[in-house]
Each structure stands twice: as C-alpha cells, then as structure tokens.
Structure 1
Amino acid sequence: MSKDAVLARIDTTEILAQLAAAKAGVHRSHQGVANAEANVAVREAELKLSDDVELKRAAELTRTNYGHPSGTGPSHGTERHLTGQSG
C-alpha cells in the first residue's frame, strides 16, 4: 500500500443531513427561547398595567371615601348598621 492510497470511502450524505437537522433543531430552540422571552415581557407589561390600574383605583376610592358620601365611609355607618347602635 502506498502513502497516498485511499483506505476507505465514506458517504457523508447521511452525516450532513444529520448535521442540517441538528442545526435546524438549534434554530427552533432559539426561536422557542425568543418566544418565551417575548411572552414574559408581555406578562410583565400586563402585570405592571394591572398594578397601575389597581393603584389608581385604590387612590380614587381613598379620594372619594370608598365611594360613600362624605362622612359615611366604611369606618362610620357600617358598624352602627351591623350592631344596631347609632352613634
């Protein structure tokens, strides 16, 4: 056998196909991570908006004495009504 003699021939078609499939899988995984990160960003934005709306609502309820006419908020007429006492 000579120094430059071919020892074996390998068909790389299947190996190259497997490599392409693996690269496609990696690409799909990266897309999945990007989608998950986008979903997290959306949920965080929704949570912030919800917190902002809740805070605004609480401030409005406090400002308007919890929706009751002045002087009849939850710490006033409610106990008298429940106990039957006037006060």
Structure 2
Amino acid sequence: MKQAEGSIYIFSYPQGLQKLLEFMKQNYQSPKIYITENGITEAKNVTLGLDVVLKDPHRIECILRHLYRIKMAMKQVIH
C-alpha cells in the first residue's frame, strides 16, 4: 500500500483491486464489472512547466499498476 501523492489519507492499493475482482468472480457468479473511475491524487506544484506536466509519469505509473492487477485477476480466475 502506497500513500497517494498530495494526500495524507488516500492510499493507492492496486492489489486491493485484484482481490476484489477475484472475490466477485468466486462469490457472485462472474458478474459484469465496469470500472468507470480509477484516478489518483497528486500534489499541486505550480512551478512545473507545461511540458513536464503533460508527461504525467505519476498518473501513467498508477494506471499501469492497476491494469497489471486487473490482468493478474483475470489470469487467476481462468485457472
């Protein structure tokens, strides 16, 4: 579990998403699940230039970690 940047009470926990998806598959007859929001906070930094802000490595890394856990959950329930 990783504390989300810019927040003292929000944590990023991609493993939790994987556990939830596996739990839903095993206990609720494989329901359709739509993930419509999976954002991340970040600290405000007005000194960064637009070229730096648009690269957004913090958000990209967060999304990739969550997509990886979704993939792992899909593999677990197939086997």
Q: TM bucket by the smaller chain?
A: 0.3 to 0.5
TM-score by length of 1: 0.32
Choose between structure 1 and 2: higher helix proportion: 1
Choose between structure 1 and 2: higher strand proportion: 2
**Higher RCO, 1 or 2 (CA under 8 Å, sep at least 6)?**
2
TM-score by length of 2: 0.35
- Which structure: larger Rg? 1
